[in-house]
Every structure is written in C-alpha cells, then in structure tokens.
Structure 1
Amino acid sequence: MQRTKVISFEEARRKHGLNVLGVLAALIVIMFIISVNTGYIRLTPLELLNTLFGKGTDKQELILFQFRLPRIVISILIGAALAVSGAVMQGVFRNDLADPGILGINAGAGLMVMLMVSFYPTTSAAPVYLLPVVAFVGAAFTAALIYSLAYKRHQGIAPIRLLLTGVAVAAGMSAAMIVLTLRLDPDKYQFVATWLAGSIWGTSWKFVLSLLPWIVILLPYVIYKARVMNVLNLGEQTATGLGAHVTREQFRLLAAAVGLAASSVAVSGGIGFVGLVGPHLARRLVGPKHQLMLPASALLGALLVITADTIGRRILQPSEIPTGIVVAVIGAPYFLYLLARTKS
C-alpha cells in the first residue's frame, strides 16, 4: 500500500512537471508572436502569416527574415543556454548563488571576444564562427582561475568564498575591458559599449549558425547527465559510494556549462542573472530532480530573455533598451534576496 502511494506521488509529480513544461512552451510561443510584431514597423497578424508562407512584400520579408527572426531565435537559444549553464554550476558546486555572470565566466569570455575583435579593422570583419571558440577559451581559463583561488584543501569550496572570488575576478576582467576601450576607434568603442550593456549584437543568421552547434551538442548532453547530477547533489562521499566518478563527472559538466555560457556571450554580450533566476524558478515549479528541472530551466531562461528583449525594443521605440539591463532589473533584486537568505 505504501509503495503504491509513493509511485502515485512520483507519477503525479512527473505529470505536474510535464504540464509546467507545456505551459512554459506555450508562453514562449506567445512571446515569439508578440516579439515578431514588435518594432518600428508593425506587421498585422495576416501580414505576418502571409510573409511566413512567402506571400509578403519584399519589405515585409526583409524585416521578418533578416532582422527580427534571427534576433528572436538567438534570444531563445542564449536564454536556454545561460539558464542551463547556471543550473549545472549550482548543482556541481552545490551553491544556490552560482551563475556564469556572477562568477565571472561571462566576463572572461567577453574579454577574449573583445581581444579578438580588436585585431580586425571592423567588428563585422571578425570571423563569426571562431567567436564561440575564442569565448570558450576565455571562459575556461576564468573558470579554472576561480576554482583554483576558491578551493581550500580539506575544506573544499565554500559558497561565499566561491561567490566573492567570482565577483573579484569578474571585476578584474571588466576593468581590463574598460582599459581596452581607451585604444579603440569609435566603431569598436560602440561595440564595446553595446556588449557591456548586454545588448544582443549578433542579429543575423550567421550568428545563429555559429551558436547552434554548441547548443545542439551541449544542451542534450547536460540533460542526458540529469541522473548523474542528482547523485552529485547527495555529496561527494555518497556519490562515490554509489559508484559515480565524481571528479570526472564534475569536470565534464563544468566544461559543458562553460561552453554553453561562452558561446552565448559570443553573440549576446554581457547578459547576467539568467543563470541565477531560471534554475531557481524551475526548482520551485517542478522540484529539484534534474530530469525535469533542466528542461524547465531552459524554457524559463528562453522565456526571460525573449521577454526582456521584446520589452527593451518596445518601450522606447524607435530606440531600444539593452536586453541585459531589462534582465538585470529583474535579476538583481532576486540575487540580493537569495544572498540575504544564505547562511554560509
């Protein structure tokens, strides 16, 4: 009888989680429709449908397929990637405040992207498909630096020490980026200002194609490792006792998380707090098990970024507010709330 109740509870929880995923997917579709019709030139629903099926005017096709759709697709991809990256870091470090932006991973990736772009006569001349690779190198170096500085023998990594180390490294990386701006011409300075504000600067299909392989490979891999992450959350000793290769699995998961964050930064700039807010809301909605929490984090991150980008483009037309600023308005108070609740 007790076993039947447990099975019924688990089944009910799973159905609830699947329903939540369905609702989040529907909300993303709604925001997609709203975002497609957000801009200086509006498209009626009928014009939008005609254009999607190839019956629109040349002007409507240019607006939809060359300007709006690539940006919307990138918003969805980077939102999902940053949220899952944050979820992995929180799980591996067992630190609810871990986030690729707060820990300085985004800053390290951004610094390398800026260094690469500075060697080219214009920002558009930089090889787009190499940007995620260069960003990954910078992010991986930053992650290794933070880990080595925060780790204490016989003590491991304390959540607050990891957080403060990440903030300090991020500040150093940001300072280096600001110093670089002193030697840039006006065109590149505008790019730097756009990146630092968290505006989605890669808004063409070539940026989508440069980002897509990283998402297609790393996102399913992380979700595939959901059971491993559940075991790692039990603690290193328990996980080892259950047969998990803790160090190897942590390294692989962190490498995937860094790759997701770095590739996103390469086309989106310094958008923070997505990796913090997404996983926390996902746990509240579907519970701590990563089989449902990771997909929920991805959907929530995508919904957050596409909503923020739509608000930023709509509120001050024809000008726009960088997406990172809109996300920060939501994420910064939530971060302070979580920090106030942290005991150690």
Structure 2
Amino acid sequence: MYCELRKTLQWENPMSEAGALARNLERNAARRYDRFLNDDERLLPEERVRLEAAAALLDESDRIACISSPQGIFASSRMCEPDTAIEYFEGAFAVAAIETGKKPKSRAAAIWSAKGDRSYRIDPAGDGDWELAYSAPVLDGYLPIDTRCPATQGIIPGVDSGAEPIDEATESDILALLFTAYALVESGSPLARRFLEDFARVMVARNSRADEGFHSGGARVTAGRMVMTNPLFARDKPELITDGLVHESIHCAIDHCEFVAPILTVVQTDAAIVSPWTGKLLDINTFIHASFVWYGLVHFWTLANARTSQPTPGALEMLATARRGFIRARPSELIAPFTDLLNPDVTRALGEMEMPG
C-alpha cells in the first residue's frame, strides 16, 4: 500500500487502492460511532435514544456519509466533547433527512451538513418547515469549500488557532483565489487532480490573526479535511496554495492508509529525526508523512514546470523547496536506525524514493 502510494506520487497512474481505502475508512468510522453510541460515560440514555431516532430517518448510505465525514470521525473520538459530538450528529442526520424529503425534529435553530457546506433553519413563516440558509461553493463538482460552518471556524484538530468571521467581500476574494490555485493543480498534473478527488473530501478556508502568513493543515482524526489558513496572504503567489492543496491531499491519503496499516509498529516512541527540509525535529510518524509529501511535491512541480515553456517564479520556487531536503539527505538513510519501529512496507517505500533527474 505505501509502496503503491510512493509510485502514485510520481503522477503517472492513479492509485488503484483508493476505492478500497475509502470503504475501509467508512467501516472504521462506523465501528467508532458504535463505540461512541454505546459509551455510557459519554452519552446519557435519552441522548442515545435521540441520536438513534435521528439516524433512523436515513438509509444506510446517508447514515454512513454522516458518520464517516471528517467531522464525524472526530465527533466519535474521545478528543471531542460529548455535547459537541451530539450537536454534530443531530445536525448532520437532520440535514441528510431534509435532503431526502423528510421532516426531522431538532432543538437547534440552525443545523449544518456533515461536511459543513450547507445549513438549514426553521422557516419562520412555515409550519415547522426547514429552509436552506446557506450552500457553499463546490470545486470541480466534488470538493466543497467551507468558510462558515461554526464547527470549523474555532479550534479544530490540526490547527491550533481560532479564526475570525469572514465578510462576504473577503470570502469572494478567497474563493476566487482557491479556484485559481485548484486550476493550477489540474493544469500541472491531471492525475494530481484525480488524487485530490480520491482523498480530499472538504476544504476549509479560515482567516486568523493569530497566524502569520498562509499555511495549510489537517489531522488524521479528520481524514479528508484540508484547512487553508489566511489564503489571501498568498494572493500574489497562487502557486503556494496549489502546493498546499497537493501537500494536504497527500496527508489525506496517508491518513486513509493508516486506518488500514499504521506507519509505526509501536504505540509510542520518543524517536525523532531532524527534517532536511525545515530543520525541525520531527517525531517518526510526522517525518514519514513529510517524506511522502515532499516526494509528491517534487514530482508534481517537475511535471507542472515541464508542461509550460515559461514556469512562473513561484512554481520554480516550489520545486526548489521540495528538492532541498532530498539533496541534503535520503529519507531511507535517516530512518535506518528506526526500521524496527516501522511498517516494513513504509521502509520499502522510502527506500524507493528517488528524485526526478
């Protein structure tokens, strides 16, 4: 699996295991939700009954879509406060029910979809009917851009800072920039765009005064969610956001893989490696993620720059940054003292990582 991922990141063929990884993620999410639902420390009996009644309005595929969304996986985890989890599941189940023609009950004035891309509220002029209050734009027909959902505008996994509300004019500028950056992914490598479709499930855009400049992020416990913080700081360099989209999609793919076969064969280790790209001391799992990410970015920008007679300065800078660490050290050599801690497939994959000539 990790060897196939390494090969896929050369952007010559799609990842054949993508569908199987998505199905495994759904099964894993369903098991986690069942544990959450039956955890007497997290749910009162009446709360469990309420969630079961809300889910009973859905067919199995819609229920699983809510449970296995990035926020759904997080909500089932012990990292999430029970009240927050209940609010998410009740809202997501209710939206899914509304969109199949049913009329759910909810104590909330506004409810949000599983991906945070649609919101409904009770129609004050109706007889308890729900009306669509917000629908997010969607990239390329599959990737919603969440700029407003309350669940993703506060502190979320993978992003330590909160976010400020985005006014409509700023939101419009952010969306235009994200569409431009996404177009650069497709023009750079159609297979990288396909990879995004296979593993990215929602993009969150946030503004934060607590962060300097643009950066992207995500977390395994919200597999498939890509977070773009302060994208307008990269207004004059959309290649930086393009790099972030490819970067985060690779993390999303590794997150999918780790639900099948974890990178580490031990539960915990203090082992760490200095990143040849950033100079930061990284735990082993983070270093492995980084190696795959930079490998994919080297190949992406090599292909993207070869597809035009005049690569932009930003694109050339992205390639140079990605190549830097591989010039300084081979990932396989850096992990050599720790191979007994690693999934053998990961070790083989890193041993096969070579830069394009």
Which category of TM-score, normalised to the shorter sequence, fits these structures? under 0.3
TM norm structure 2 = 0.22
Higher relative contact order (CA closer than 8 Å, sequence separation 6+): 1
Normalized per residue, which structure has more helix?
1
TM norm structure 1 = 0.22
